[in-house]
Chains A and B, each alone.
Chain A
């Protein structure tokens, strides 16, 4: 009886010790599944932000946080109101009233013209003379600008690219009149209190 038992155990052990034949692609499939399942750094970061989690907050801390959030929103909204931005009041993307000089205001004219060789601004402030007020390209090229003191009031102007191409300022309103087939832009300098 005892011998039969030993023999049975011996057969089971032999069976268990026998090598198992595996599919040659098994390792590759397992590793592919492992790599696919492992979340990347960004996925982990996203999961950290998106997974809900409980946290504890006292009523006082909650109220203070809400008040701080409302304050930030109000301050942000005020910062985007006209005339609240501080030093430079932009009347248009292409025209920036930078500072005041005596009775005039220094206005910065800007034109993006990457292909241009020369750019000038002409207007009622320089007798429409293309030679009088050239714009200067920035170090990287493409963005042309010049600062010019202008008297308060409305002014009409345009850019002259490469001496022959007339362009209105893309960031400023166009003059309602176009007597000569090449529209002008308008800037209102001033806004001083009366």
Chain B
């Protein structure tokens, strides 16, 4: 019986040691430490990525944020990660889940994530979802940004196409174009170029059918 208890304590201790990230050791007060550890344990148990949570704590500490604010931020992030994982599916890579959580914070809804994931799962969602968040940050209405990202995904856009879109929209906005119009026009151009490169056009174009994401770069 005694050995059994010792074994149980050893297992519990190992679990606690695993929950404690070395980068956080001794840097938080006990109350905050306990709260953060709870969030990390919960995320780990749910199969969620814990690195963004640790990263959020580090950011808060470096910015000398109030401990309550740090705990609130990591709880919100954990909730977003959980929602993103639910929308993208249990097998979604960590990078996609993290980008999905960021897109949710930007205002996208889980249905948008599901639709983009349904079209582009094999090609990866990290870059398109990051570009979605980026467009919203630049002032593109979230509905427009989501539509543009989905439209490109259905057209078989590559990561390079998305980053090219982001750069083009940034340039247009810098030149004075309304963010929503800039995103819509750039997306149309990107899809048109995709057609010229042999990619399928997006659904909705009469007489055409969508194709799988291509495996070759749109541009060098």
Contact = CB atoms under 8 A, between A and B. Distances in A.
Contacts of B58: 127-129
Tell me the interface secondary structure of chain A in the complex.
Answer: loop
B106 interface: yes
B65 interface: yes
Interface in A105-150: 122, 124, 127-130
A83 B133 CA distance: 21
Given A129-B62, A176-B105, A193 B126 contact: no
B168 A127 contact: no
Interface in A178-194: 179-182, 184, 186, 188, 190-194
Contacts of B210: none
B114 interface: no
A128 B62 contact: yes
A10 B78 CA distance: 122
Contact of B123 (A90, A128, A194): A194
Contact of A192 (B69, B160, B164): B160
A1 B203 CA distance: 119
A193 B159 contact: yes
A153 B105 contact: no
B215 interface: yes
Contacts of A190: 127, 159, 163
A44 B80 CA distance: 71
A182 B218 CA distance: 37
Given A186-B133, A193-B159, A91 B55 contact: no
B39 to A, nearest CB: 14
A54 interface: no
Contacts of A90: 167
Contact of A193 (B62, B99, B216): B216
A128 B55 CA distance: 8
B162 A191 contact: yes
A191 B163 contact: yes
A82 interface: yes
Interface residues of A, number: 35
Contacts of B158: 193-194
B56 interface: yes
Contacts of B216: 193
Contacts of B167: 82-83, 89-91
A153 B126 contact: yes
B170 interface: yes
Contacts of B56: 179
A122 B59 CA distance: 9
A39 interface: no
Given A186-B133, A191-B159, A191-B162, A180 B63 contact: yes
A167 interface: no
Given A193-B218, A194-B215, A179 B60 contact: yes
Contacts of B154: none
Contact of B170 (A124, A173, A177): A173
Interface in B105-132: 105-107, 123-124, 126-127, 130-131
